[in-house]
Structure 1
């Protein structure tokens, strides 16, 4: 199948997935390009100004790259449930040296400065733009394609793939439930079924004719090969790069990934109000059952806790996003990791 990625003359079919919140640095994306791959800057949670600076830095180094944005797909939180949940975090706040009274207030229901970021990508085009969480308007897709950008949409099911194809996307990222971090599902009220990645790729391939990038739980050359044989033209990996030399992962997060005692991952809404997979810890144990649905309200609510946990080395109160292949994350250069993963492709 012809893929828009062929124009970039990539030597490796293993791409560096976007990881918002710090891990996806310009250095990581540049290293991926130099290895013959393609990496994505994570535009989520960044200001347009900060994203523009990162784009300029990567562009100056040469090589293809992409930018990922969180497309608005808000799930308004129930105000009473939000206030009850905020109150339940008081003990965690005190343990981190924070005043529980600073949590809560009015829920923040913003769109992550969506329109400004789209304007940036239209005035300063990049080779690839991918969307996660929601769907951009058709006009956005048309405009990006008009400036020469390849448009990629994240989907988690054949039904979502059909919608994205109708929208005009050039490619799809097919994300399995084994993926670390947030699920890209278009219906975050429902946690996606646990379908193995090769099976999900095959299902989506039957539904649409678009080129597919497989993602979710891949941490070995064998996993890459299985996804490619199922019909993907490339595989995107994230968790396996979290301990890479060029990643911006915090020390607390890195140590948790390397801790042999942390074997289990769970899907939780406890940190952001949207389903996301991470290492099981005290926070997920205490709050997963009671966390209301509501993104981005819960994301903003727990942000001060997570920043304090990272700074103080408290891995029991930190969002430790990780896929099921997290035990394969290693502390070495990005190029070495991507090259090894592509060995059996």
Structure 2
């Protein structure tokens, strides 16, 4: 698909690590592994806000026969050293503990969230708000805060994030009146329930959200079913955006007719259009190390979002190698686009994505693309 505007707006070199929350706190050099997967909303002044995930990584994680992880300990940041003989270091971004009977992982980076203010159409950076950065503040965030998604419901901004710790890989909620000063409300979904997207509006007087629980076991659909077993986009409702009940009906499920959505999850928070709720989500085709990530769309019924009115097997947005060509020396993944935000801009939508787990991409999508 051809877009009238499609460009990278923020990349690792745009982060000033001298203003990082980790600056001066650990005895090791760090660098920006990625500045990506930005939540997006429109500020009260009309500008756009990107809440950018900054993955700050150790330049030399392996030294003295140990590999190191960054951890927030309640007072500041520290390094944990693990003997090399106890871990698998095949992936430079993480390491896996050997033995134990289940998967245990640690990261050589820690993620925090950086508010980046853009102009109204998303084509220029106006200000980077280092003083408003979101950093670990609770034990369940000791390994970082990841992948913000921002919704505005009424006059209140709601931001979900993934918080990472040995205790759980949970979804946490922040609230704000202005999208710059955020209050941590705590955990709203427990272990390994990722990609929580709150609908931008109430349905039947309740908050609704898309969720995506992870697991290692799924039960098969009957032979010949149009659906494929595996991770799907579920629904939940809440009276207050804090206490969530899973919806009894299924949401968006992987379709057996295509391998392009063999794995799937939420993308941008659903927004209300005259025809229903527009949901942008990601599908993953198995290939290479992590698969091929693409952005797809579905139109959901405004009164019952479990009802899919219209969808497409053709991707809306795909990874664009031309955009990252100038960053090729920094790349560690390809064929990945991960859409994380959408705002209405009149005759088109401004869509924010993470490109290659490396940088932030802004795309103008014509409203006619969803016909």
- TM-score normalised according to structure 1 size: 0.30
- TM-score normalised according to structure 2 size: 0.28
More helix by share: 1
Higher Cα Rg, which structure: 2
